């Protein structure tokens, strides 16, 4: 044994556990506004993730138990489940999770070596492959014309059976971002669009409350020193500033930046996904660039791209840039004048 002989007790498992706990407020609000189906998705994703993780660990000759207990697979599963529509059929969740764990994580070398955020890879692959299934979100409780009981939800998720006389449209609807996009294409102005029942004071009904849940969880993570402020602040600022510029340019065609902050995956992405340490930038300045890049790209994809939400693609695109960002943002070392490793005196 060598010095230091003492250690702080924080472990990877504890960090991951804290991340999961910080998600509890948002998940609670999710259940309140969209029903308990999300819990089924989460359980399904966790089960798939654990099975795939143990399988891959075994294949790669790692000790299964300690690495399974690090909690990283569970976190990936929960984040992925929260990004997917909760009424998605079981196989959609299973394929997404399996792809995230097996391909995005383990085939890239496992925890610590993966270049791309596994949850976002799973999500992106699904939205490209199954766009219809991926856009069927349940309507918020107060807007749905019909309600499924929990048993009926389970029946639909696992067997694809809807109760007699009910079709999917009765319980699902486009997301606020999707609605906004479609309505803008139909040449409606922002003001007209916002009169639609799905929108509320911030963004979509219920959506904005859940976004606040993620914000609260994110603040807990920051207070617990699991994440630093850099990435969330830069992400949200990037999104907000880009949104403001367009909004000021044409208020009829570009919605208020506040709407962007509170809809889609913005808050979840800012505090829980972009902050993934493995695939994110590591230097303080790099984190700012990384976060701001995601915020900017999210806005660009949402407003000009082909998908209603852009967080997943923005995160993946910025993941590509991480090595470059890190290399060019090395902080000044104590006792040195220059910043760049290359510029040091030889």
Partner 1 sequence: MTNLRSLYNFNGGVHPPQHKEVSAGRPIVKAPIPSRLTIPLHQHIGNVAKPIVQVGEKVLKGQMIAQAEGYVSASVHASTSGTVSAIEMLSVPHPSGLPDLCIVLESDGEDTWAERIPLNYREMDLSALRNRLRDAGVVGLGGAVFPSFIKLNPGPQQKIQTLIINGAECEPWITCDDMLMRERADEIVQGIEIMRYLMRPEEILIGIEDNKPEAIAAMQAACSNLHFQIDVIPVPTIYPGGGAKQLIKVLTNKEPPSGGRSTDIGVQCFNVATAYSIHRAINHGEPVISRIVTVTGNVTLPQNFEMLIGTPVNELVALTGTPKADTNRYIMGGPMMGFDLPSDRVPAIKATNCIIAASPRLFPQPPAPMQCIRCTRCAQACPVDLQPQELYWFARAKNLGKAQEYFLFDCIECGCCSYVCPSNIPLVQYYRFAKSEIWAREKEKQASDLARERHEFRQLRIDREKQERAEKLAKKAAAAKAAPTPAVEGTANPSGIDSDAAAKKAAIQAAIERSKAKKAGIAPKNVDNLPPDKLKEIQNIEARREKIRELAQKEIE
| DSSP calls for 171-211 | HEE--HHHHHHHHHHTT--HHHHHTSTTB-SSSBTTHHHHH
Q: Is 137 helix (H, G, I), strand (E, B) or coil?
A: strand
Q: Is 138 helix (H, G, I), strand (E, B) or coil?
A: strand
Answer for which of 60, 64, 107, 113 binds partner 1 (CB under 8 A) is 113
Tokens of 108: 């890239």
Is 54 among the residues that bind partner 1 (CB under 8 A)? no
Task: Give the C-alpha separation, 311 to 318, whole Å.
Answer: 10
Length of the chain, in residues: 346
Is 224 among the residues that bind partner 1 (CB under 8 A)? no
Asked if residue 20 lies in contact with residue 226, where contact means CB atoms within 8 angstroms, the answer is no
Of 6-14, 82-90, 127-135, 250-258, the window that binds partner 1 (rule: CB under 8 A) is: 6-14
Of 124-132, 136-144, 202-210, 330-338, the window that binds partner 1 (rule: CB under 8 A) is: 330-338
Is 5 among the residues that bind partner 1 (CB under 8 A)? yes
Nearer to partner 1, 67 or 254 (CB): 67
Residue 340 Cβ vs partner 1, minimum distance, rounded to whole Å: 10
Answer for which of 41, 48, 72, 74 binds partner 1 (CB under 8 A) is 72
Residue 15 Cβ vs partner 1, minimum distance, rounded to whole Å: 6
Is 15 among the residues that bind partner 1 (CB under 8 A)? yes
Asked if residue 23 lies in contact with residue 219, where contact means CB atoms within 8 angstroms, the answer is no
Tokens of 337: 């004048």
Task: Report the interface residues with partner 1, using CB under 8 A.
Answer: 1-8, 10-12, 14-15, 66-67, 70, 72, 110-113, 228, 277-278, 280, 282-283, 326, 330-337, 341-342, 344
């Amino acid at each position: 044994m060598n010095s230091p002989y003492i250690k702080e007790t924080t472990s990877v498992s504890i960090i991951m556990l804290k991340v999961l706990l910080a998600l509890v407020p948002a998940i609670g609000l999710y259940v309140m506004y969209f029903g308990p189906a999300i819990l089924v998705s989460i359980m399904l994703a966790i089960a798939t993730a654990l099975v795939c993780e143990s399988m891959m660990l075994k294949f790669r000759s790692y000790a299964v138990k300690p690495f399974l207990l690090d909690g990283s697979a569970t976190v990936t599963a929960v984040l992925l489940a929260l990004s997917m529509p909760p009424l998605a059929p079981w196989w959609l969740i299973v394929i997404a999770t399996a792809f995230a764990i097996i391909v995005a994580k383990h085939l890239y070398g496992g925890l610590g070596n993966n270049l791309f955020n596994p949850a976002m890879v799973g999500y992106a692959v699904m939205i490209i492959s199954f766009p219809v299934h991926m856009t069927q979100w349940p309507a918020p409780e107060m807007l749905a014309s019909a309600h499924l009981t929990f048993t009926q939800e389970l029946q639909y998720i696992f067997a694809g059976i809807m109760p007699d006389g009910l079709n999917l449209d009765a319980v699902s609807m486009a997301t606020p971002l999707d609605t906004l996009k479609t309505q803008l294409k139909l040449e409606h102005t922002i003001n007209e669009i916002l009169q639609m029942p799905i929108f509320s004071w911030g963004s979509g009904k219920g959506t904005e409350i859940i976004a606040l849940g993620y914000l609260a969880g994110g603040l807990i993570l920051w207070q617990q020193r699991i994440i630093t402020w850099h990435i969330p602040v830069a992400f949200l600022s990037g999104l907000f500033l880009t949104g403001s510029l367009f909004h000021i340019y044409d208020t009829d065609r570009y919605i208020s930046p506040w709407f962007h902050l509170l809809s889609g995956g913005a808050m979840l992405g800012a505090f829980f996904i972009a902050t993934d340490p493995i695939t994110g930038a590591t230097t303080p300045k790099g984190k700012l660039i990384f976060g701001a890049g995601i915020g900017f790209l999210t806005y660009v994809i949402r407003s000009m791209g082909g998908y209603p939400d852009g967080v997943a693609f923005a995160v993946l695109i910025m993941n590509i840039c991480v090595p470059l960002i890190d290399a060019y943002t090395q902080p000044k070392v104590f006792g040195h004048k220059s910043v760049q490793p290359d510029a040091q005196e030889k």
